[in-house]
Amino acid sequence: MAEPLIRMQNIRKSYGRVQALEDASFHVNEREIVGLLGDNGAGKSTLIKVLSGAVPLTSGDIFIRGKKVSLRNTSDAIAHGIETIYQDSALVTQLSIARNLFLGREPIKPPRFLNRMDQDAMNTVARDLLKQVGISKNIPPTTPIGSLSGGERQAVAIARAMHFDSDLIILDEPTNNLGVAETQGVLSFVRSARDSGHSCIFIAHNIHHVFQVVDRIVVMRRGKVVADDIDPKKTSVAEVERIITGMSDKEIRDAIADGKPSH
Amino acid sequence: MENRSLIQHLIARPEFGPLVLLVIEIAVFWSINHDFLSPQNISNTLAFTVELGLIALAMTLLMTSGEFDLSVGSLFGFSPVLMWTLFNSGLTSLEVGFVAALLVAAFIGLVNGWFVTQLKIPSFLVTLGMLLVVRGTALFVTDGFPQRTWSAEGSWLAEALVGDFFIGPFRIYMSLFWFIAAAIALGYVLTQSRTGNWIQAAGGNPNAARARGVNVSGVKIGLFVLSSLMASLAGVISSLRTSAANPNSGTGYELEVIAMVVIGGTALTGGRGTIIGTVLGILILRVMRNGIVLIGVPGLAYNIFIGAIILGMMALHSWLERRHQAGT
């Protein structure tokens, strides 16, 4: 079998005495959308933070295409082609779409010593990218991010990851607080990202959103990966819910009848 | 149709409010006292305006990056004191004294930037502390007395910085050209250059900027140094023009400069800044100070008007900002 794009092996992470990740192992193949599911506190955020360089791991190894890497900060992760998209946090609301897309990698017009941004080139690329991710409305690339909707912001962040050839795009709750149409928009951006050769990790509370878009589902519970090869086409939502909570059908029914929370 | 959208575009710009205010101010002062637009009054007003203005230009970039600098007024007083002390004691020529004053200012900016970015202390506290250190040093070195400054006549440094000549009836100082050059250069940096994009990102969302590989700390430290250098240059220019080096000069300038910047439309919270707006803000406050005296309002009432302008402009900017965020 070919070496996966990303392989995380025996990852442990503890915050003081709290063990957030216990020996978690996880992989993402090329051109694959993986849905990462788990209850609150299952460790999926921590796993993603480790992979995006936001928190250092306590022990374990990360491989990219079979090569061991160390991700000490988010810039490291981006340099290795791992882009994380949190709701809102990755964009500067005061800057335009084009300026956000190229932030930190602005093209320079000659002569170079003038350090002048090539704003025409930035706008042209931005316009193409917006079309590519499927923003149907005709939004000029000079629009500030602050006047875009949540879904459009996600689209800009995804477009940026696609343009700079990120191999892996991590979407942390990308459909939170979005309306129905916007959610469908984001799901289609994710599909177009895969179609142009990127892999994605998709994290969402709404299991139905995950089912609509992913190729494979991975479930975490109490800091461990408890299932990593669930095919959404052959598995029901109820079954996945059962795996997430770690309860049998009967236990879930009883819990609901008792009005107890289901964990 | 095209015309209408152009006008709408103009009105939506943050500089539009300040521009209108400046025009009204000039019209009102002129209608009350025609001397307001006399060549002599314009020349006098401009001379000091550009000195404060140099500081405000640098402060615009610093505030766009999300920080501000309260130590500029103290540097305005300290730098000429240092330069003249070195010169009068016979240690250095005036020019070398000038370079030494700039180097010390750059170092002070570096320390400000280091405290803010590395120790993560708010710039308000860091530069307030620095204000006291620098002002205290100026007073200690001079025992509180002004320095002798009469020997600047004929020095090429003085000629280059504050040499004056007449264009028609207007007496123009060289410092006006330094101010125009600085405004164009910094306006270019802020709107056209890659550095400008980083400055805005550093103030708008530093975490996002850092995640894209922008050296946020480096940008901010650079701007603190720039701010100190401009304050120092402005102090030296003022001292050469007025032939005075008073360790107390520049007291309170930091607030006037910050007021100029925010009146112009730069966000106090960072992320958005405009050099054109700052130039308008500089003129608004200086014209106000000059005009009030000229139309016979007691000078002591000056602050009432300045305060009212700040409050009014802030209300306008916040309204524009909300409209902007709403996407209209």
Closest partner CB to B201 (pick from A75, A92, A119): A92
Q: What is the pLDDT of residues B47-96, one digit of tens each?
A: 889 999 999 999 999 999 999 999 999 999 999 999 999 988 888 888 89
Question: How many distinct structural domains can be found in chain A?
Answer: 1
Residue B201 lies in a domain: yes
User: DSSP string spanning B211-265?
Assistant: HTT--HHHHHHHHHHHHHHHHHHHHHHHHHHHT-B-TTTTTTHHHHHHHHHHHTT
Please report, for the domain that includes residue B239, its CATH number: 1.10.3470
**Which of A48-57, A113-122, A152-161, B4-13 is predicted with the least confidence, judged by mean pLDDT?**
B4-13
**Interatomic CA distance for residues B249 and B259, integer angstroms:** 19
User: Tell me, what's the pLDDT at B16?
Assistant: 86
Question: How many distinct structural domains can be found in chain B?
Answer: 1
Closest partner CB to A92 (pick from B196, B208, B213): B208
Q: Which residues partner with A201 through β-bridges?
A: A34, A170
User: DSSP string spanning B30-87?
Assistant: HHH-GGGGSHHHHHHHHHHHHHHHHHHHHHHHHHHTT---TTHHHHHHHHHHHHHHHH
Complex-level ipTM:
0.82
Task: Answer with the residue of higher pLDDT: B57 or B149.
Answer: B57
Residue A102 lies in a domain: yes
DSSP helix/strand/coil, B143: coil
Extract the tokens encoding B50.
């550009």
Give the distance from CA A117 to its chain's centroid. 29
Extract the tokens encoding A227.
């299932």
Q: Of A57-61, A127-131, A248-252, which one has max mean pLDDT?
A: A57-61
Residue A67 lies in a domain: yes
DSSP helix/strand/coil, B147: strand
Give me the total of CB pairs closer than 8 Å, taking one residue from chain A and one from chain B. Answer: 77
In this structure, the dihedral spanned by the alpha carbons of residues B306, B63, B47 and B231, taken in order and rounded to 10 degrees, is 120
User: Tell me, what's the pLDDT at B3?
Assistant: 62
Q: Is the predicted pLDDT of residue A211 greater than 50, yes or no?
A: yes
Residue B218 lies in a domain: yes
- What residue has token string 């003081």? A16
Q: Is A108 on the interface with B (CB under 8 A)?
A: yes
**Which of A111-120, B125-134, B208-217, B315-324 is predicted with the least confidence, judged by mean pLDDT?**
B315-324
Q: Is A156 on the interface with B (CB under 8 A)?
A: no
Task: Answer with the residue of higher pLDDT: B297 or A214.
Answer: A214
Q: Of A21-30, A121-130, B119-128, B307-316, which one has max mean pLDDT?
A: B119-128
Q: Is A111 on the interface with B (CB under 8 A)?
A: no
Q: Of A41-55, A236-250, B58-72, which one has max mean pLDDT?
A: B58-72
Write down the mean pLDDT value for chain B.
89
Sheet strand arrangement including A67-69: A18-28, A6-15, A59-64, A67-69
Pair B264, B256: CB distance under 8 Å: no
User: Average of pLDDT values for A96-111?
Assistant: 90
Closest partner CB to B209 (pick from A103, A105, A114): A103
Residue B26 lies in a domain: no
User: Tell me, what's the pLDDT at B104?
Assistant: 97
Instruction: Give the residue from chain B lying closest to A98, CA to CA.
Output: B197
Residue A257 lies in a domain: no
Q: What is the pLDDT of residues B190-247, one digit of tens each?
A: 999 999 999 999 999 998 898 888 899 999 999 999 999 999 999 999 998 888 889 9
Instruction: Give the residue from chain A lying closest to B194, CA to CA.
Output: A117
User: Tell me, what's the pLDDT at A136?
Assistant: 61
Question: Measured between CA atoms, how close is B48 to chain A, in angstroms?
Answer: 31
Residue B13 lies in a domain: no
- Give the list of residues 6+ apart from residue B161 with CB closer than 8 angstroms, or none: B174, B175, B178, B236, B237, B240
Instruction: Give the residue from chain B lying closest to A99, CA to CA.
Output: B197
Q: Backbone dihedral region of B167: left (phi > 0), alpha (psi from -120 to 50 degrees) or beta? A: beta
In this structure, the dihedral spanned by the alpha carbons of residues A133, A137, A138 and A144, taken in order and rounded to 10 degrees, is -80
Domain ranges, residue B237: 40-321
User: Tell me, what's the pLDDT at A254?
Assistant: 67
Task: Answer with the residue of higher pLDDT: A185 or B204.
Answer: B204
Domain ranges, residue A166: 6-16+30-232
Residue A218 lies in a domain: yes
Residue A38 lies in a domain: yes
Q: Is the predicted pLDDT of residue B142 greater than 50, yes or no?
A: yes
User: Tell me, what's the pLDDT at B135?
Assistant: 95
Q: What is the pLDDT of residues A117-176, one digit of tens each?
A: 999 999 999 988 888 776 666 788 998 888 888 778 888 888 888 788 788 999 888 877
Q: Is the predicted pLDDT of residue A193 greater than 90, yes or no?
A: no
**Which of A33-37, A199-203, A212-216, B297-301 is predicted with the least confidence, judged by mean pLDDT?**
B297-301
- pTM over 0.95, yes/no: no
Instruction: Work out the pLDDT band at B1, boundaries 50, 70, 90.
Output: very low
Neighboring chain A residues of B208 at a CB cutoff of 8 Å: 89-92, 103
Instruction: Work out the pLDDT band at A36, boundaries 50, 70, 90.
Output: very high
The three-state DSSP-derived secondary structure of chain A is CCCCCEEEEEEEEEECCEEEEEEEEEEECCCCEEEEEECCCCCHHHHHHHHCCCCCCCEEEEEECCEEECCCCHHHHHHCCEEEEECCCCCCCCCEHHHHHCCCCCCEECCHHHCEECHHHHHHHHHHHHHHCCCCCCCCCCCEHHHCCHHHHHHHHHHHHHHCCCCEEEEECCCCCCCHHHHHHHHHHHHHHHHCCCEEEEECCCHHHHHHHCCEEEEEECCEEEEEEECCCCCCHHHHHHHHHCCCHHHHHHHHHHCCCCC
Please report, for the domain that includes residue A42, its CATH number: 3.40.50.300
CA distances in angstroms from B261 to B53, B113, B199, B281, listed in the order given? 10, 20, 16, 6
Instruction: Work out the pLDDT band at A196, boundaries 50, 70, 90.
Output: confident
Q: Is A61 on the interface with B (CB under 8 A)?
A: no
Residue B244 lies in a domain: yes
Residue A248 lies in a domain: no
Residue B4 lies in a domain: no
Q: Of A75-79, B62-66, B307-311, which one has max mean pLDDT?
A: B62-66
Residue B91 lies in a domain: yes
Pair A81, A167: CB distance under 8 Å: yes
Cα A76–Cα B198–Cα B59 angle in degrees, nearest 5: 140
Q: Is the predicted pLDDT of residue B320 greater than 70, yes or no?
A: yes
**Which of A50-64, A166-180, B110-124 is predicted with the least confidence, judged by mean pLDDT?**
A166-180
Residue B272 lies in a domain: yes
Indicate the length of chain B as a whole number: 328
**Interatomic CA distance for residues A228 and B146, integer angstroms:** 78
Extract the tokens encoding A36.
């990462």
Task: Choose from A80, A86, A94 for mutation: most chain B CBs within 10 A.
Answer: A94
User: Tell me, what's the pLDDT at A251?
Assistant: 67
User: Tell me, what's the pLDDT at B236?
Assistant: 94
